[in-house]
Amino acid sequence: MRKLNDAVHERDEWKCVNCGQYVDNSEKIHHEPCGVHKSDEITKAVTLCRCCHYIRHHTGDAAKVREKCVNYLRALYGDLGAKKE
């Protein structure tokens, strides 16, 4: 998991894909989709700062952050980005 975490942070240039804030690689990556469809693949993971990660999981603005994550991954990986299995 550490290897994936480091690879995602490097790919995302150590920036939150939602707000652009610097994110140290000690911060865990976010899996998109999360929940039962979560998997440890670079095509399904993004860097989120602590604040945006909280918003994605616990607020009414979760859908907005989700949309940014999905669009970001699909821009990089096409249909494989954030794909539910």
At residue 85 the predicted structure's pLDDT band, cuts being 50, 70 and 90, is confident
pTM of the model: 0.92
**Contact, 66 vs 34, CB < 8 A?**
no
pLDDT of residue 61: 96
How far, in Å, CA of 28 to CA of 74, rounded? 21
Contacting residues for 45 by C-beta, under 8 A, at least 6 apart: 4, 8, 29, 30, 31, 32
- pLDDT tens for each residue of 16-58: 999 999 999 999 999 999 888 888 999 999 999 999 999 999 9
